[in-house]
Amino acid sequence: MATVSADRKERIAALDYDYAAQPKQPLTSCNLCGGSQFVILAHRDRYRYPAQTHACRRCGLVFLNPRMTAEAYGRFYEGIYRPLVSAFHGRLIDARTIQAEQREYAVERAEFIRPFIRSFTPKTMLDIGGSTGVVAAHFAQEFGLDGTVIDPAPLEVEHAQRLGLETIADLVEQHDFGTRRFDVVIICQTVDHLLDVSGTLARVRQLLSDNGLLFIDIVDFRAAYLRNWSVEDAIKIDHPYYLTERTMIAYLRSSGFDVLRSDYAADHLHVSYVCRLGMADVKAMSSAASVEEMLREVRFVQNAPHRM
């Protein structure tokens, strides 16, 4: 075990990525509830970069703070992200190798969404952060949809184009869709990577047709730190946000979505939601009591003797 982590440390050091020197911005208001009182949960991430993780005292949202600017994240995704994840796991992970995993995921998630697709006849689909398009291509084929992928990584979008999907190399918050609407919007393994979850959900609300469906999933932060029995090991600079069932439901309700069904994936780490447009419920935030409960649990995990 000690050898494995020493090797990992060396592999990450060999990338020579200076996280501390990257331009960052401090966040002064919570992206979910607008609150301004935060608690620091961790000072390092799983790569041992000096990244601080905060939790909002009012709603329990967990996020990196300060966090890299959009430009710094752009450079991170261009050259560091996949090599860093590869160094962490000790095997090559790139746009090609992730496709087998994405295919398996696509098959599983298509079954989850199928009953809702049957209840109306959707024609168009937008995949936000759709990467190489594997998931979008599977959904498009299964459900007879015209698929569009929007993703800021040009190399990954190229793969998606080869699968016969319409592709847009841009950020969803920036792109001008004009009057276009989509019957299905999917945000797969992406929400934790966004810089503005509220802004993206507001955008989705405009882009979805009246009877449209939103499919979105999270890595459950609680499951991640309980699984590793470590808060730091559940943090990675690739994820500006750490959502839980409570905070994701609060995001969806306050952004005007009704959650039709939620589901734990087979790995128990990802939670998926199927949603429809509803009335925005601005009071849908977590209670202060539930925030205290999470903070107590985090302190308990941090103070426990470290397991090898």
Piece in contact with Zn ion (CB under 5 A), picked from 18-26, 56-64, 108-116, 146-154: 56-64
Least distance from Zn ion to the Cβ atom of residue 291, Å = 9
61 binds Zn ion (CB under 5 A): yes
Beta-carbon neighbour count of residue 259 at 10 Å?
16
Piece in contact with Zn ion (CB under 5 A), picked from 43-51, 58-66, 177-185, 226-234: 58-66
Least distance from Zn ion to the Cβ atom of residue 58, Å = 5
Structure tokens at 193: 């990577």
| Cα–Cα distance, 80 to 14 (Å, whole number) | 12
Residue number with CB closer to Zn ion (33 or 213): 33
Piece in contact with Zn ion (CB under 5 A), picked from 41-49, 54-62, 143-151, 247-255: 54-62
59 binds Zn ion (CB under 5 A): yes
Candidates 33, 68, 150, 243; binder of Zn ion (CB under 5 A) is 33
Q: How many residues bind Zn ion (CB under 5 A)?
A: 8
58 binds Zn ion (CB under 5 A): yes
Question: Which DSSP string corresponds to 221-242?
Answer: HHHHHHHHT-SGGG--TT-SEE
32 binds Zn ion (CB under 5 A): yes
125 binds Zn ion (CB under 5 A): no
30 binds Zn ion (CB under 5 A): yes
Candidates 55, 56, 140, 277; binder of Zn ion (CB under 5 A) is 56
Structure tokens at 11: 């592999």
| Cα–Cα distance, 205 to 216 (Å, whole number) | 13
Residue number with CB closer to Zn ion (46 or 246): 246
The three-point CA angle 179-182-183 to 5° equals 140
Taken in order 80, 102, 246, 301, is the CA torsion positive or negative? negative
Compute the radius of gyration of the chain from its Cα atoms: 19
150 binds Zn ion (CB under 5 A): no
Residue number with CB closer to Zn ion (61 or 197): 61
Query: What sections of the chain are H helices per DSSP?
Result: 2-14, 70-75, 81-89, 98-118, 134-143, 154-162, 197-207, 221-228, 245-254, 288-303
Q: Give the binding site for Zn ion (CB under 5 A).
A: 30, 32-33, 35, 56, 58-59, 61
